[in-house]
Chains A and B, each alone.
Chain A
Amino acid sequence: MQKISVVIWKEWLELLKQRMLLLSVLILPITLSVIPLISLFGIALAPGTGEPDELTLRMLETDPTLIGLSEQAATQVIIGRSLSTLMLLLPMLIPSILAAYSIVGEKNNRTLEPILATPITIWELLLGKIFATLIPSVLLTWFASMIFSVGVAQSAVDPIVFSLVVSPSWVLLLLLCAPLLSLIAISLMVMISSRTSDPRTAQQYSGVLVVPFLALFVSQMFGILSFNPVTTLIATVIIAAFAALALWGAVMIFQRDSILTRWN
Chain B
Amino acid sequence: MTFAIETEGLSRSFGKLTAVERLDLAIPSGSVFGFLGPNGAGKTTTVRMLTALIKPSSGSARVLGHSLGSDDQQIRRSVGMLTETPGLYDKLSALQNLVFFGRLYDLSRAEAEKQAEHYLRLFDLWERRNDPVGRFSKGMRQKLAIVRALLHEPKLVFLDEPTVGLDPEVARTVRDTIKQLRSQGRTIFLTTHNLPEADELCDLIAIFRGKLLHLDTPDRLRARLANQATLVRVVGDPRAWQATVQALPFVRDLRLSEDALEISLADPERNNPALIAALVGAGAQIRYVEPRTTTLEEVYLKLIGEA
Query: What is A's interface to B at a CB cutoff of 8 Å?
Result: 2-3, 6, 9-10, 13-14, 17-18, 109-121, 256-257, 260-261
Report chain B residues within 8 Å CB of A6.
Answer: 100, 103-104
Q: Are A120 and B53 in contact (CB under 8 A)?
A: no
Binding site for A on B (CB under 8 A): 14, 48, 51-55, 73, 76-77, 79, 81, 83, 85-92, 96, 100-101, 103-106, 132, 145, 148
Q: Are B100 and A113 in contact (CB under 8 A)?
A: no
Contact A120 B104 (CB under 8 A): yes
User: Is the beta-carbon distance between B48 and A17 smaller than 8 angstroms?
Assistant: no
Complex contacts, B105 vs chain A, CB 8 Å: 118-119
A261 to B76, CA, bound (A): 18
- Across the interface, name the chain A residue whose C-beta is closest to B104: A118
A41 to B104, CA, bound (A): 52
Q: Bound state CA distance, A13 and B85, in angstroms? A: 23
**Contact partner, A110, options B87, B100, B106, Cβ 8 Å:** B87
Contact present for A110 and B104 (CB under 8 Å): no
Q: Could you tell me if B77 and A261 are in contact, using CB atoms closer than 8 angstroms?
A: no
> Hey, which chain B residues are within 8 Å of A120, CB to CB?
104
Q: Could you say which residues of chain A place their CB within 8 Å of the CB of B96?
A: 10, 13
A-B contact count (CB 8 A): 74
Q: Could you tell me the distance in whole angstroms from the C-beta of B128 to the nearest C-beta in chain A?
A: 17
A211 → B minimal CB distance (Å): 33
Chain B residues lying within 8 Å of A110, measured Cβ to Cβ, are 83, 85-87
The answer to whether A117 touches B51 (Cβ under 8 A) is yes
Most buried by B among A14, A112, A113, A114: A114
Check if B91 sits within 8 Å of A17, measured CB to CB. Answer: yes
Write 21 A-B pairs (CB below 8 A) sorted by A numbering. A2-B103, A3-B103, A3-B104, A6-B100, A6-B103, A10-B96, A17-B92, A18-B91, A110-B86, A111-B89, A114-B81, A114-B87, A114-B145, A115-B101, A117-B51, A117-B81, A118-B76, A119-B76, A119-B104, A119-B106, A260-B53
Supposing A119-B106, A261-B14 touch, asked if A114 and B101 sit within 8 A by C-beta, the answer is: yes
- Residue in chain A with minimal CB distance to B145: A114
Q: What is the minimal beta-carbon distance from B306 to any residue of chain A, in angstroms?
A: 30
The CA-CA distance from A11 to B76 in the complex, in Å, is 22
Q: Assess the A121–B89 pair: CB atoms within 8 A.
A: no
Nearest CB in chain A: distance from B272 CB, A? 52
| A109 B53 Cβ-Cβ under 8 A | no
Min Cβ gap A110→B in Å is: 4
- Residue among B52, B79, B104 facing the most chain A CB atoms (10 A cut-off): B104
* Interchain nearest-CB distance for B43 vs A (Å): 14
Q: Give every chain A residue within 8 A of B55 (Cβ-Cβ).
A: 257
User: What separation, in Å, do the CA atoms of A112 and B54 have in the docked complex?
Assistant: 13
User: Does the CB pair A109–B87 fall under 8 Å?
Assistant: yes
Chain B residue contacts of A112, Cβ below 8 A? 87
On chain A, the residues within 8 Å of B53 by CB distance are 113, 116-117, 256-257, 260
